[in-house]
Amino acid sequence: MKFPPFLLPGDTVALVSPSGKHQRATIERGAAILREQGYKVRIGRHAFDEKGIFAGTDRARAADMQKALDDPAIKAIFFSRGGYGCIRTHEGLDWSKFLTNPKWIAGFSDITVFHAFLARQKIASLHSVMTGSFEADGTLTPSFLRLMEILRGELTNFCHQEISPHPLNRPGTASGILTGGNLSILQSLRGTPLDLRPKGKILFIEDLNELYYHLDRMLRNLKAGGILQNLSGLIVGHFTGMKDGTAPYGQTAAEIIREAVADYDYPVLFNYPAGHELPNDPLLLGAKVKIQVTRKHATFSHPPKRG
């Protein structure tokens, strides 16, 4: 696994909108916060564009992303938001220069498309907050501050995390390469060159506003395709705003997930603080991590990795 160089004071970073449209004020505030952290910020030319639900046309979004990928002065790429559109943006990208000189990509939700591509290329990336969660009530969020610490290579505080126990946790110990992101996106990439490769992996999943039976259907897809069977472990983040259809499904999100992996014996860790609500703690995708789960105790850890 290749880790991009960590950020140095005064480095230049990009802020682009490869997916859904977003409020100008939130993007500009996100850029200001990054400048306050000591970085020069280049906002994509089309970051404020609007075309339907998208932040501009596919070509415009891809042009901004391509420029950020290719410019050697840019050391990390941040995103205004997720939504939908990254798969369309990805179709217009040439990653060849990036693959020669990787840089950090940091985001979540629809950005899972890019994380999936980088996983296939064995390049680390960061599942993390985007501009709307850099701060809350005028204060920088702990999740954003942790992201900044990781990007600077200050990983000491993230080598060992205590996770709140959950009654559906499955005990065990496992090590593996961390992968994953938004479950809806991961499932949508099945059968494509961006599909998951589960062997030796610890999978992280989260989602937002899905019907319970949709959640079960996505998990059954992963099960039928051998993804769930071949994992080393599973980490479950926030499943926010889950809902019933016209009739109650009869299970919670956690119960649906636990049932989907009932045939396997690897550890399952619920309650990881990441996803579509705060806290949305950063996850270093591509790092070798370890989970230890008992009925009353759970930990997540990885060795520090410096660039």
The domain that contains 94 carries what CATH number?
Answer: 3.40.50.10740
Specify if 306 maps to a domain: no
Same domain, 26 and 138: yes
State whether 199 and 233 are in the same domain: yes
pLDDT tens track for 58-85: 999 999 999 999 999 999 999 999 999 9
CATH code for the domain of 272: 3.50.30.60
Domain count, the chain: 2
Does 288 reside within a domain? yes
β-bridge partners, 86: none
One domain for residues 195 and 128: no
Return the pLDDT at 164.
92
- Three-state SS for 23? coil
Residue numbers of the domain that contains 248: 159-301
Residues 77 and 119 in one domain: yes
Q: In this structure, is residue 134 part of a structural domain?
A: yes
Do 230 and 252 share a domain, yes or no? yes
Q: Which of 136, 154, 172 is the last residue of a domain?
A: 154
Question: What does pTM read for this prediction?
Answer: 0.96
What pLDDT, in 10s, does the model give residues 261-270?
999 999 999 9
Question: Is 1 within the bounds of a domain?
Answer: no
Q: Are residues 137 and 185 in the same domain?
A: no
pLDDT at 29 over 70: yes
- Residue 211 is classified by DSSP as B
Measured distance CA(141)–CA(133) in Å, rounded: 7
Which of 104, 136, 154 delimits the end of a domain?
Answer: 154
Share in percent of the chain as helix, strand, coil (round to 5):
30, 25, 45
pLDDT score at 154: 86
Separation between Cα atoms, residue 22 and residue 49, nearest integer Å: 9
Quote the CA–CA distance of 232 and 223 in Å, as a whole number: 14
At which of 100, 124, 154 does a domain end? 154
- Residue closest to 102 by CA, chosen among 129, 120, 121: 121
Do 113 and 201 belong to one domain?
no
Residues 167-173, mean pLDDT to the nearest whole number: 98
The share of the chain scoring above pLDDT 70, in percent, equals 97
Mean pLDDT along residues 158-167: 85
Least confident of 14-18, 129-133, 161-165, 170-174: 161-165
Cα separation, 43 vs 103, in Å, equals 16
The DSSP H or E segment spanning 215 is helix 212-224
Phi, then psi, of 156 in degrees rounded to 5: -55, -45
| CA 254 centroid distance within chain | 19
206 in helix, strand or coil? Answer: strand
- Whether residues 132 and 163 fall in one domain: no
User: What mean pLDDT comes out for the span 133-162?
Assistant: 89
| pLDDT tens per residue across span 94-111 | 999 999 999 999 999 999
**Alpha carbon 158 to chain centroid distance?**
16
Strands 268-269 and 283-285: unpaired
Residues 204 and 292 in one domain: yes
Question: Is 180 a domain residue?
Answer: yes
224 lies in the same domain as 130: no
Same domain, 189 and 117: no
Which long-range contacts does 296-301 make (Cβ < 8 Å, 24+ apart)? 296/165, 297/162, 297/165, 298/162, 298/163, 298/164, 298/165, 298/166, 298/169, 298/269, 298/271, 299/160, 299/161, 299/162, 299/163, 300/160, 300/161, 300/163, 300/235, 300/269, 300/272, 301/159, 301/160, 301/161
131 and 258 fall within a common domain: no
Is residue 19 domain-resident? yes
Asked if residue 5 is part of any domain, the answer here is: no
